[in-house]
Structure 1
Amino acid sequence: MDEPAITPARAGTEIQAVALGGLSPDPSWRRPILAQHQLLILITTGHGTAQVDFRDHPCRPGAVLRIHPGQAFRCTGAGLDGVGVRWTGDLPDDPDGAPTAPPGQPAHWQPDGADGEAVVAGINRLVADCRRYPDDVRGHLLVRHQLTAVLLRLALLAGPARTGGAAELATFRRLWAEVERRHPETRRVEDYATTLGCSVRTLTRACLAVTGTSAKQVIDQRVALAAMRLLAATDEPIAAVGRRLGFPEPTNFGRFFVREVGRSPGAFRSGRQESAGSGTRAPVGSTSPA
């Protein structure tokens, strides 16, 4: 059972202990859930697969998962379970503190040796203290610092991100924030360039440096990812999903989806109850190791 949440008005960041098995309303995880909070999960028992935005990650005890709000998340496997925390609000020193996961951000770690021991101990201590101090402001400060420390350790394990220079990275981050906000409205690079006060060439150069793909590909693949999430995790009609993402005509949405994902929206949805690892091509906006 989830533990009582820290009161945001008193503590600034709401942090709550969770169990992996309590995250999905369906114990068999026949389809993914759309995460509503930041999640950090430690796998404690069983072997299986965690699917984060349609990328499969093999899991055994000691594996760590980080999920961002809006991401599609699903677990399969015999006896797979774990513990962790979810949180809302800002952690000032969070190395991956974007409200949504940008391309290339890791979602899975399987550390071993001294690093693995430190991560497992850190998350277990974090969960225990979150439960022990549900209403204490000083206790909240403690668990907030513990959470930040674990996230920093995971960032060190991930190694340096594949980026260009500082200017390209800054430009890409500005673009990504706009894409997150406006991808249901426009897929035109020119519109983003106008909003950001730069040229299409500047945006393309930044995206190539950071992701290896063009600005147009970054935008289109983010739209495809949004469609995949809605098709897999909700019962919203396919035509309605297309309209939400800027496609008034279902045929245009279908052509776009096939081009980006490799199968039709209907075929993708019909396979949502298949086992993890269906071979779907994951868009650039999904999470993968850098």
Structure 2
Amino acid sequence: MNNIPNISFKSKEGFTDIEFIPLDEIMTRVEKNPDHDPQKPHRISFFALLMVTDGSGIHQIDLKNYEIKKGSVLKIAKGQVHAFQKNFQYRGYLVVFTEDFVLKYFSKSSIDFISHLYNYHISEPLVKNSTFNHFFLEQVTKELKSEETYAQKEIVAKILELYLLRLERYAHKEPLKKLNRKHQTLFIKFKDLVKKNYTKTRNVKDYADLLHISSKHLNQIVRAVTLNTAKHFIDQYVVLEIKRIIFSSRSSLKEVAYQNGFDEVTNFTKFFKRNTGLSPKEFKSTVQG
């Protein structure tokens, strides 16, 4: 998987954390940026919704092909690998938004309900025959075109949050496909252990020992489910918790470091910058700005 490129959020001027892109514009953008080919597998560092309004085709997520047509919605989570088919003929929109957007504007209860945001490993990405895509797109387009810009970002966020909750409820009508039960069970146990112990240890071997399996076996399981390593999963979980505290509290960075299991602020700063490209101080200033 080392040859799969990581794609960060880049959008038109004026959009910093959310954008609604007509699909026919995707290839136009590629022509201007030939370094990124969306028809080849690439891992995204943001969330995306592929909404089909007409036509049909195939889209690949985590190296699996999904048949899509009018009314289909594909939920692509941060960290997943996806690819467009060559010369796709369907039309619609790609809604892209960052993790920071979710943490800043969505309620925590909504985030817990919307499984594909952080629990995509245990839910199917495809929702068929959604009946409320048009209403969602109509509402968002109307808001973005409005000359009244007061609280516009907040309103767009709530429209999206409500849509995702409805999508989640609708998706639960469809039974999940059978997955590798053994891998699934061990992965969920691993995830629960990380949630419980991440402030004490970020060491893969410690979690493997708690599961009574080898580190190699744990990595195989996590790769099978997420296409990434157990260490990557642990570190990304810790980054998420750090961001949540910075967003939701007035704690000093020293306090945030200690709350997340770092004895030294220097190590905390190095860890966060290695995983996000920003120091905690830089990230906090963007949040407050």
Normalised by the length of structure 1, the TM-score is 0.46
Query: Which structure has the highest helix share of the two?
Result: 2
Structure of higher RCO (CA pairs closer than 8 Å, 6+ residues apart) = 1
Normalised by the length of structure 2, the TM-score is 0.47
